[in-house]
Amino acid sequence: MRQSRIAVLWSLTFILLMLAISTVSAQTATPTPAPTTTPTPVPAQRTYVVQAGDNLFRIAIRFGTTYQALAAENGIANPRLIYVGQTLRIPTSSTVTPAPTIPAPITPTPQPSGQTYTVQRGDSLGRIAARFNTTVAAILAVNRNITNPNIVYVGQVINLPTTGTSTPAQPQATTQATPVVSQPSTAVETMPPDTFAYGIEIFIDGQPISEIVQRVDELDVQWVKILVSWRELEQTKGQIVYGDLDTAISALNNAGVKILLTLTNAPAWARDSQDENGPPRDLADFNNFVTAIATKYKGVVDAYEIWNEPNLRRNWNCNRRMCDTDYIELLRGASQALTAVDDAAIVVSAGLAPTRFNDRVNAINDRIFFETLLSRRGTDLVDAFGVHPGGWANPPDATCCEQPIGVLTHYEDEVFYFRNNIEAYRALMVKYNVSNKPLWVTKFGWGTSEDTAPPSQINIFVSYTSLTEQAIYVPRAFEIGNALNYVGPMFIDNLNGCQSRAGQALVELCYTSLIAPNGSLRPVFNTVQSINKTTVTAPPTTTTTTNTTTSPNTSSMEVVPVVQPETTPIVTTP
């Protein structure tokens, strides 16, 4: 019995021992899992395929990054050079770092305000942006469905950005090389509301005139400008061959378009020097030419601009320097010849090229030239003052001298800004009490080399402007002129420079053309066409206080104040 119990105890002990061993083994083989951290998934790389009209700046806005970060992410050495079909990697937030050499300002991405606007006939994004005190870029940022800023349609509902997200920063005042404002003056501006009008310059060679007039009709502008080279029409003294000019004027007149002729460039027989272009040795020869033109086109041609940019050597050349010929005397004779034949014709002074150069070898500063004209009572000889306010690559709303994004040169002086130039000329007119005469913008535009061969260094600024920006800037400049109560007709430079012989000789004319080198319509053609040209802003009569450049009155164009020549090359415009 005792032995049985001992056996049972041994059996139980053995069983318990085996159970303990199995438990320990189980615990050793299956440890309790330690808590682990789930790794954050890496976001997929976003890409974008470049479309026609794109540039890095606008792509950056669309994706909430910077053009410097896009360039760094894609190894793009020159941010201005991308191509249609190129696939770009969009940087993640961790890789968005602006280039150290050009720090980008930190600006919040515009947010929708909750307000919307329905597109009306004649609208463009530029017009809508101006109406709501914002920018095209800000509107695009809150309307990601708009991939082409040149295309909006009537009835389209667009989001408006929140107030304050798109107000441009005010530029800081800087010292200018251009003559500065110093003397306040007050005048009442009394321009009639119908002074403003839309116009364009055309070239009548290189294309059938019927095609040119058809394009003018499609643009629905009220005015057309033709530069008439006296040198081409009267190659032999006393024998004027009108040719294509006659055909063009007849066709434009039948189309109901008003015509401005710019009379310029003396023929070889009338000059002593054959370098570039210049005035005649005997002003009576020009007066005779003006009389012949005015007689032939009396009642058909509406206005005449007397010469083209005579403050540049290339248009006023005598033995490789600026001529001593007095422009005011040339203007006087031409004005008298015109009014004697056609008193209804409008006489416009020559549009001047904005330039800070003033060495009298290459150029005369446009402000000094214009003030001399006013101080010597050139105002009595004209009905309006021609101006060429330019803009280079700076947006039309920009003012000197904060460097716009993507503009690497030609931003350092007031002469490079459309708005500064117009305001400077107007200030001088107020100073000399001629505020009742309008400024005619007889040439303006923004050039682009996006669809041309690369520009030379002297025209490098056209490489900063894309086709899309050109299409936005030109309508906006029209808006600015329309809103002012002292601007008359504005003429785009130009319709068809790429196709003309003039454009082949002067490549700048192709950069600003509305028709591309291959004959297709650039986006700017469509945006100008879409402007509602029947609506002209009628600003109220206002009293303004402006500042003007001080300069002593002079008895001759020869003794205007001379600024020391600069080391930079002469600034020229087409």
Domains of the chain and any CATH numbers? 46-95 (3.10.350.10), 112-161 (3.10.350.10), 187-559 (3.20.20.80)
Given this model, what pLDDT does residue 14 score?
A: 58
Helix H or strand E encompassing 113: strand 112-118
By DSSP bridging, strand 384-387 and strand 346-349 are parallel
Place of tokens 């709501």: 132
Q: What is the pLDDT of residue 512?
A: 96
Write out the two tokens for 183: 């003397």
The answer to whether 511 and 455 have CB atoms below 8 angstroms apart is yes
**Cβ neighbours of 231 (radius 10 Å):** 17
Sign, CA torsion 139/144/146/147: positive
Give residue 78's pLDDT.
63
- The continuous run of DSSP H or E covering 305 comes out as strand 303-306
Cis geometry, peptide bond prior to residue 494 (ω within 30 degrees of 0)? yes
Burial class (CB in 10 A: 0-12, 13-18, 19+), 135: buried
In order of 128, 155, 189, the CA distances from 119 in angstroms are 8, 5, 33
Rg (the chain; Cα; Å): 34
Amino acid 104: pLDDT: 38
Q: How far apart are CA 417 and CA 402, in angstroms?
A: 11
Q: For residue 545, which phi and psi values (nearest 5 degrees)? A: -110, 125
Between the CA of residue 28 and those of 14, 15, 22, 337, 423, what are the distances in Å? 21, 20, 10, 115, 89
**Tokens in use for 116?**
């919307």
Distance CA 389, CA 422 (A): 6
For the record, the structure tokens of 225 come out as: 């400008």
At position 214, the amino acid (one-letter code) is Q
pLDDT tens-place values along the chain, 574 residues long: 445 545 544 555 555 555 444 444 444 444 445 455 555 555 567 899 887 657 776 687 678 787 778 888 888 866 656 776 788 889 875 343 333 333 434 445 666 667 899 888 667 787 788 788 888 888 888 887 786 676 766 678 889 998 644 333 333 333 334 554 333 344 445 566 578 999 999 999 878 999 999 999 999 999 999 999 999 999 999 999 999 999 999 999 999 999 999 999 999 999 998 889 999 999 999 999 999 999 999 999 999 999 999 999 999 999 888 999 999 999 999 999 999 999 999 999 999 999 989 998 999 999 999 999 999 989 999 999 999 999 999 999 999 998 988 999 999 999 999 999 999 999 999 999 999 999 999 999 999 999 999 999 999 999 999 999 999 999 999 999 999 999 999 999 999 999 988 777 778 899 999 999 999 999 999 999 999 998 655 443 333 333 333 333 332 333 233 333 333 333 333 3
Which pLDDT value is given to residue 109?
60
Residue 18 CA: distances (Å) to CA of 11, 13, 21, 24, 547: 11, 9, 5, 10, 107
**CA gap 163, 112 in Å, rounded:** 9
233 Cβ neighbours under 8 A, 6+ residues apart: 240, 241, 242, 243, 245, 289
Distance separating alpha carbons of residues 208 and 204, to the nearest angstrom = 8
Q: Check: pTM over 0.85? Answer yes or no.
A: no
Residue 352, amino acid: L
